[in-house]
Structures are given as C-alpha cells and as structure tokens.
Chain A
Amino acid sequence: MKRRDFVTRILVTGGALSLGIGCRRKIEPDFKKESEISGAVDQKTGRTITEPERQIPVLSETDVLVIGGGPAGTAAAIAASRTGAETYLVERYNHLGGLWTGGLVLPLLSTHAIDKQKNRKQVIFGIGGEMARRLKDLGMSIHEINPVVDPEAAKYVLEEMIREAGVKMLYHTWGSNVIMDGNIIKGVSVESKSGRMAILAKIVIDCTGDGDIFHFAGDNYDVMNYAIGLVHRLGNVDRINTSKTGYVKLNVGQPTPIPSVNWYNMWGKENQDALDVLNLSQLQMDYRREIWENVQKIRQTPGHEEVFLLDTASQLGVRMSRILDGEYRLTLEDTMTFKSFDDVIGISGAWTTILYKGKKIPVAERPFWQIPYRSLLPRKTDNLLVAGRCFCFERELVEDTRIIGTCLVTGHGAGAAAGLAVKERENLRNLNTGKLKQLLKQQGAWLG
C-alpha cells in the first residue's frame, strides 16, 4: 500500500468518525444552570467557657427513664410501667401529650389504612388506641377516622393513665445531658427549679422529638429542617352572624369537640432550624404578633365581632429536626408493600395521598405499615431506645412518621421493649422479639 493511500484512509475514517460523533443526538444535562439553595448562615460567635466540675444529687435510680412526655413518651412510660418496670417520665412543660395537646395539633392522624383485602380499617390500637377510646367515651373527640380531640381532655386522660400505671412523673424538668460509660447511658442529668440532678436508669427512652438524648449520647443522625408553625384556637365561632350586612366568609379554622371553639393551623416559615433557640424565640414572637393581628382583622369583619383568640399553643409547632441513624431505616417502599418484619412492634396507618413510583395513591388505598423494633435502636448506644418523630426512617416517609398516631405506636413499642428488657435482664439488642410481640399483644397492640 502506498503511503498516500494509507494516509487517505486514515483521513477518511477520521472524518467519518468525527462526522458521526458530531451528529450524535442526545440532550445532556447542563450542570452550570443548576444552583442549589444555600443553607442558613451560622452566626454563632464560637466563643465558649468551661463549666467547673461539680457534684450533682442523684434524684433516683430507676429501671426505665423516659425523657419527653409527648404522645410517644407518655405511651412509652405507661407501657414500661405496666410491664412491671419502675419508670420515670420527664416532661419540660406542665402537661402530657406534647404537640398533640400543648401544641394544639389536635387530630390523631393515621388511625386507619387498608389491609391486604383492601378494607379500610382501624390500625392503631394498644395504648394509643386506649387513649383515643377514653377521649371518645368522654365525648371529647370528633370524627371516627383521624379523630380531633379536645386538648384539655387529652391532658387529663393522659395524666390519669400515667397515674393508674404508677409512673413517677417529673413535670417542669428538662433532660439536659447524659451520663455515659462507654456505650452505656448510666443516667440523664435533668434541670429544674430544684437545680441540676441526675436520674440513673437501666434503660433510657428518648422521646424528646428532637432526639436530644441520642445527640448527647453521640449517636449519628440526620437533621431535617422543616416548616415551623404555631397553632391557635378561636372562641365563639358559633356566634358568627352570617346574616349581618357586609358579612364575608373568613377562614376561622377547623372544628374541635367543643362547639364554640375552632383550632387554626399554621404552616409557618419554611426550612427552619428547630435546634437553634434564637431562631425559635424569634419565630415565637413573630408568630404571636401575626396571630394577634389576624384575629383583630377577623373581629373587624362584620359578623365576626364576638370571635376571640382563645389561646396560642404553649409549644411551638416544630415538625421535624433530628432523625436517628438506627439499626434499620424504614423506607417508603416498606410502607407501601405490606412489608412484614419479624421484629414488628407496631402498625401505623396513612392520612395523606402520596406519589409512589410516579403514581398517585389516594389515602383510602394506602396500606397499613409495620414498624420494626430495629428502627428504634441506635447504632452506638446500647441501652437507649428512640420513639416519636425522630426514630429511624427515610425522609420520604416523614409525613407519616412525624404525626401523633405513629408516635403513639412507636412509644408503646419502645416502652414495652424497655420493660421487657428490665424484666428479662436482657440487653436491648438481644431482646427476644417473639416475647416482645407477645407482650405487645397482651397490652392490646395490633401487629397485623
């Protein structure tokens, strides 16, 4: 072959190839155009001081210590105490029920879901179901599915149940740190009017919602910023005079079991850091002013003169903050496919329509879902259980895990597990899940 022929062939081949590649048709992403929303700027000064070492009194040495008296904490304390363990419950406000009562988020959501036969039925039983039933017997809850309760009645019922179960109650007390020994929590130090004290315990249940205890204990977690709101209630909504001249229909919230009272939800500002006290304080002040001004506007509208602001919630409506990195991360897929776990501790339902694999699944067609014991277990700390909105799940599931119904279920499961572990003198990780399931069933829980 002549050299010129050879070169010609190379040129022709190269030309054909480059033409070919040049004519290729595919749209590729342009990453330059994509910009990410930048996070909030950290404005902390970074200055610190060292606390002097000091002796603190030991308040008590107990079997089970529950930090946080929200729906999960209350259920956990009752379950543990009923199992026979000496139980302390630490609550920072003056009431039980957390956001359900003090936060005025009154609906007990996700009580129902469909079973494998496609029948929509109640799925939340156990201690949570007992609370709902007792409120209904008092005439203090409306709606069969996802009942809305009266907050004062709920505070009363929860406290009565705690009293009956023999739980040792500590109000106005804040779990402020953990006392660690390797991977074991020996106890929790609490702050109150009596100063700092320690409560030593065999097992600690973190029901703080924000995951304060697993944070102090050094476990890994994910922080999810979300919208924070502040709920309020309006009184005299039954005295709105619709026939008055100049009357216009206004949004006055949703009905509660008390006919003259409505609760008024607030979505609030997006992407808020619930772990920054300066932020929480600012939000609290802004929200209270906004609510006051909005109620004045309502009162100035013809027909609404007698409506008044009954109360703003005593707790800011923090929806999400920390999410535990536990032994098992519950996924959206698990909840949509009737996934069955050997170590199931409870079943929750669904309250919203969702998109699953690109398709719309209406709330009335959503299956019930099992919660495994492992997703309440932190990876590092050995004698800690986590219940409430901060147990281990993937973010896609947040709408179903952060609500009252699920919190009651995880609380019950954690409390029973702690009680059983104390009774059996067994490590939480080696707990016999068969016995746990049996115990939960004895306590009225439904496990599918």
Chain B
Amino acid sequence: MKNLFRSSNLRTLSFLMAIVLALPLSWKGLTGFHTWLSPFIMLNSVIAVKSFVWLNIVAFPVLLFVFFRKRWFCLNLCPAGWCFDRISALNKDKTYTYKRLPDIGKWLAIISLASAIIGLPLFLVFDPLAIFNGFFTILSGGMNIFAIISLSGFLLLLTIHFFYPGVWCAKLCPLGGLQLVINDLTTRLKLFFNKQKPLPHGIDPGRRYFLMSGIGLIAGITIPKFLKPPAEIIIRPPATVAPPLLYSLCCRCGNCIKACPTGIIKYSTDFTGIPAWMTPEISYESGYCLETCNLCGQVCPTGAITLFNFRAKGQLFMGIAKVQLENCLLFNNIECVKCKESCKYKAIAFVAKENILNMVPMIDKDRCVGCGACEVICPTDCIHIAGVIIN
C-alpha cells in the first residue's frame, strides 16, 4: 500500500487510468476525466468564463499540492509526462539540460492566464492533457486526414523526446510552467515571511531578443490574414459559447467527441476559418442530438460547451431545419411522417400548401433547435439543418 503512493507508481496508475478514460469507450460523464485535473485548464476556464462547475473543484487539491511540492502534478499524475519519460529513457547517449532555452512554458502560462482575464485564454490548446486526450480521439473514427494530422501532436512530441529527452516537460509545457509560477510564488512568500531580500536576477539582452522581435514582426504581418473567422456558420453542440471565445476556450481535447452517444460531434477542419480549426462541429450523418443527453456539456473541462440541463435543450438553438420540397415524399403524396414523428420539440407541422392533397412539413422557427433528427431520418434527404448565429 505504501508503494502505491510512491510517486512513480502513482503516476503509472494515473497514466493507466488516463489512457483507459481517454479511449472512446462510452465512459459517459467520465470521458477524459484527467482534463479536469489540470490546474492550467481549470484556472484559464474559470478566469475566462468567470464562473465554474462543481467538477472544477478536483483541480484545487492539485493546486494545493503544487503549492507545497514542486511540480507535484508532473511527478505524480501527468500521463503525458509518463509517456515522454519512457521515450526519453530510450535515448541513453545524450543528456540535455536546456539551460539556454528560456522557460517558454512559464510564459505561456502567464500570458494565457493574463489574457484569460479579458476573456481570451490564449494557449489552452497546449495543455498536455488536452493533447494527450485529443490524440485518442483518432480512435473514435470518422476523422478526416487533416484532423488526424492535427491530433498527431502527441506523436510528434513523443518523437521529439527521443532526440531531446525531457524538453517538453522542462521548458515547453504550460502546465509545467504554471507549476513553476506557483513555486516562484511559494519561494517569494517564504522569502517575504523570512524577511529576506529576493535574489537578484538580471536580464541578458542580445541576439535572442533581436531574433524574437524579428519573428514577432513577421508574425504580426502574416498571421492576421489567417485569423479570419470561418465563412460559413458552423453548427455547434448545444450551449457552445459564441465564436471568438470558443476559438480560444476550446482546448481541442476531444472529450465531447468521445462522449457523444450518437457520434455526431466532429472536429471542424475548415480551411477558410483557421481560428475555428479543430473546434467541435456537428454533422448529422449517423445520428442526431439526443433530447435526453447533455454529455458534451458534462465532459467539457473548459466550459466551451456550457454545462446544461438536458431539459433545457428546447431553448438551446444549434441550427434550424430547412425543407426542400421537390423530393419530399409527403408533398408527392407518398405516406411519410418521419420528420414530424422524429421531432421531439414539436417544431414540425404538416400544413396544406394549396389544397389538402398537398400537405407539406412546416418548421416552427421558435421551436426548432436544429437537433437534426428530421435531417437524419428523412428518407429522401430533403431536410437540412442550417447554422444560425447564436447569441
């Protein structure tokens, strides 16, 4: 029993748990549970949306441990770190200390948290647990090649670790960086209480800053061109936050995709809107948004999909159904009631077009939430859900 809590064993256990829960095996509310443990995701989310859900609480003890034990999360819980360490251990020839590399992770964490205050957490996508969980979304199937490439960041990091052992954990990881920030805080507090002066540390300006400012200039000129919002209105899961916030708040962990019982949530890979790259999108090919389900809201660790009561789904608009009458069976006097029967929100009524022989389905704009049941069931594919702008 004592052995279990030795850090290496605890982390192996955590890794095993994380990998099992990251697999798309319909874990329902537990899908990708480890993303909730990340204090980086929790702080960004809580600060950016200025509200929390009860599950956010699980990250608080982690924060507390980190406060007293340096890099407690990395050493005891991090499943990504466990993998990286295994790969790093394969490389026995080289040892790197990365003294010359700045603490990029630390700055990612600081910038992200600072920007979260104005409601735009910038670097949530670099959270290692999001990367780790996202990778396993590939197994849920139905991914296109661009999504798979985008999710392979984890594989890339594994490969990098073979050549540069431990580089992510030491210098790049924003979650690690956050822990360093907290430890700095701890040290400063200790110094404050011990009435000692802080250790002086100077800045070393030079070539590095020259290069960085150059890169910054080029980035400033080119990047805004890519950062246009997507041209089409994308259909999102219910209760998804409005776009500009969504792009940064969504950590692309794939939890919603794995949790969705009907498998309709996909990663959006639309080249016309790079900021929306890999955000959750709905496509009604195999199923529709079940009226009795709120799993995507339950598993979203960042609040990009707000937690909602499934009874509120009648007021959570995703899109609206549009009917093309030419192929409609009912319009052609063939017995069909599928759309009306499938509509759980009573948004479809059959009305006479010219006379009673020409009944056609009519969509009630106030009731239709765009759940897609009618689109899926329509035998002649004449109903499509169009996106709507959500306030």
Contact = CB atoms under 8 A, between A and B. Distances in A.
Interface of A: 20, 23-30, 33-34, 37, 227, 251, 253-254, 264-270, 286-287, 290-291, 293-294, 352-355, 357-360, 399
Interface string B346-378: 100110000111010000000000000100110
Interface in B18-65: 49-54
B316 interface: yes
Interface stretch (B138-146, B164-172, B187-195, B327-335): B327-335
Contacts of B303: 25
Interface in B254-296: 261-262, 286-290, 293
Contact of B359 (A23, A267, A357): A267
A27 B308 contact: yes
A253 B337 CA distance: 17
B125 interface: no
A26 B252 CA distance: 21
Contacts of A254: 333-334
A320 B332 CA distance: 22
Nearest to B356: A290
A294 B355 contact: yes
B239 interface: yes
A69 to B, nearest CB: 23
Contacts, number: 114
Contacts of B337: 227, 267, 399
Given A251-B333, A353-B377, A358 B287 contact: yes
Nearest to B330: A267
A28 to B, nearest CB: 5
A358 B290 contact: yes
A264 B332 CA distance: 9
A253 B332 CA distance: 8
Contacts of A27: 239, 297, 306-309, 312, 315-316
Contacts of A24: 51-54
A234 to B, nearest CB: 11
B51 A25 contact: yes
7 contacts: A24-B53, A227-B337, A290-B356, A294-B355, A352-B379, A357-B261, A359-B286
B232 interface: no
B63 to A, nearest CB: 16
A336 to B, nearest CB: 14
A269 B293 CA distance: 33
Given A355-B342, A358-B290, A291 B309 contact: no
A33 B287 contact: no
Nearest to A362: B379
A290 B307 contact: no
Nearest to A263: B333
A28 B335 contact: no
Given A23-B51, A264-B357, A286-B356, A360 B377 contact: yes
A300 to B, nearest CB: 14
A34 B54 CA distance: 28
Contacts of A358: 261-262, 287-290, 293
A30 B312 contact: yes
Contact of B53 (A26, A30, A287): A26
A291 B287 CA distance: 38
A227 B338 contact: no
Of listed A23, A353, A355, A399, residue having the most chain B CB within 10 A: A355
A332 to B, nearest CB: 11
Given A26-B309, A264-B357, A266-B333, 11 more contacts: A20-B52, A24-B53, A25-B307, A26-B307, A27-B307, A27-B309, A29-B311, A251-B332, A265-B334, A265-B335, A360-B377
A386 B381 CA distance: 38
B328 to A, nearest CB: 11
Interface string B139-163: 0000000000000000000000000
Nearest to A283: B356
